[in-house]
Each structure stands twice: as structure tokens, then as C-alpha cells.
């Protein structure tokens, strides 16, 4: 099936730091420069996506939310298509809180298998983010382990906004 929309662009990760030291009257500069860029097109191959899901999730103190990225039938992309990402190729999670930790993954055995233990939780501190990029055609299979679990750790003074972007393969849209 051919869709009426297209996906193209790039995903970039860059670190540009100045790391220097003054020795006597000389400044020794040892820059840290890393830049990776992935050009993205529509499809099912390497560096190709056929579905993008983005959302801002709001969590109160101690609250959690589970997003089923494969077959919930309740998550829709911006064009009204049911989210059914079978192979995850991009996951971006940003904790927009100023004072609370975000716990992701962990919780049960159906969670996305990013960490080695199904119940392990990854902590994203206030203002922090978690990037996952797979340029491989296969991506990360999430047909069984499909849940993205988000949890406010109960600290801080207010609710937390979490930005989620997930992209990968949805065979029904290709």
C-alpha cells in the first residue's frame, strides 16, 4: 500500500566542546567534536521510516503512563493512522521537568527491550533526554515487547511534561 505522505529529512547527534588547559603561557586545546548524521527517507530499509509518532505526555507526581507503540489501537499518528511500529528505529524522550526524575522502561516484561533486565528502569534527570537511533533495516523488533513505560518518580513540586518521538516501520503504511 502506498501512502499519501512521505518521510524525509535527517537525524543528527552532535557534541562540540572546547577542552583546554593552560600550561605556562600556552593554552593547549583538545576539542571534542563528534557529529553523526543519518539521512532518512520513507520505506522499510536502512535509515528508512514508515511511521512517526510524537506526543507530549503529562505526568503528575508519582503517576505513570504506558504507551503501546505496536498494537494498542489507541495511539494515532498526526494523520489518524493507528500506531503500529513493528521495528523501532528512533526513540527520543525528553524530560522537560525542572525538578523531577523521569523513569522509563522497566515495569514489566512487555516493555521495549532497551535494557537487559525487563524490570530495569532508566533514569532521565530533570532537563535530560534519551536518544536511541538504529540505522539498520531491521531496527529493534517491538512486536512483543512493545510498551514504552513512563513514570514520574514522585519528587519535585509539579507535573512533568515528557516529549516523545518514536519512528520506525509500520508495514501497513508502506
pTM of the model as a whole: 0.89
- Distance of alpha carbon 81 from alpha carbon 75, whole angstroms: 8
Stretch 89-98: mean pLDDT: 96
Spell out the residues 6+ positions from residue 28 whose beta carbon is closer than 8 angstroms to its own. Answer: 20, 21, 22
Q: What's the pLDDT score for residue 3?
A: 53
Q: What's the pLDDT score for residue 1?
A: 46
Helix (H, G, I), strand (E, B) or coil at 66: strand
More confident residue, 126 or 27: 126
Beta strand 32-42 with 48-49 is parallel
Stretch 121-130: mean pLDDT: 95
Backbone phi, psi, residue 172, to 5°: -70, -20
Mean of pLDDT over the chain: 90
pLDDT digits (tens, 9 = 90+) for 45-79: 999 999 999 999 999 999 999 999 998 788 999 98
Beta strand 129-133 with 51-59 is unpaired
Spell out the residues 6+ positions from residue 23 whose beta carbon is closer than 8 angstroms to its own. Answer: none
Share of the chain above pLDDT 90, in %: 68
Stretch 76-88: mean pLDDT: 92
Q: Scan for cell 588547559, then name that residue.
A: 21
Q: What is the CATH number of domain 49-173?
A: 2.60.120.10
Q: What's the pLDDT score for residue 4?
A: 63
- Distance of alpha carbon 135 from alpha carbon 156, whole angstroms: 36
Amino acid at each position: 500500500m502506498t501512502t499519501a505522505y512521505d518521510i524525509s529529512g535527517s537525524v543528527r547527534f552532535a557534541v562540540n566542546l572546547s577542552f583546554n588547559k593552560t600550561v605556562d603561557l600556552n593554552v593547549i586545546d583538545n576539542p571534542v567534536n563528534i557529529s553523526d548524521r543519518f539521512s532518512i527517507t520513507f520505506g522499510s530499509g536502512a535509515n528508512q521510516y514508515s511511521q512517526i509518532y510524537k506526543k507530549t505526555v503529562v505526568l503528575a507526581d508519582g503517576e505513570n503512563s504506558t504507551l503501546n507503540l505496536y498494537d494498542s489501537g489507541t495511539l494515532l499518528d498526526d494523520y489518524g493512522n493507528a500506531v503500529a511500529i513493528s521495528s523501532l528505529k528512533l526513540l527520543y524522550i525528553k524530560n522537560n521537568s525542572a525538578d523531577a526524575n523521569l523513569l522509563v522502561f522497566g515495569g514489566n516484561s512487555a516493555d521495549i527491550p532497551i535494557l537487559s533486565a525487563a524490570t530495569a528502569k532508566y533514569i532521565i534527570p530533570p532537563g535530560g533526554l534519551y536518544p536511541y537511533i538504529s540505522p539498520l533495516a531491521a531496527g529493534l523488533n517491538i512486536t512483543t515487547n512493545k510498551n514504552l513505560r513512563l513514570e514520574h518518580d514522585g519528587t519535585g513540586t509539579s507535573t512533568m511534561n515528557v516529549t516523545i518521538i518514536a519512528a520506525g516501520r509500520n508495514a501497513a503504511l508502506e
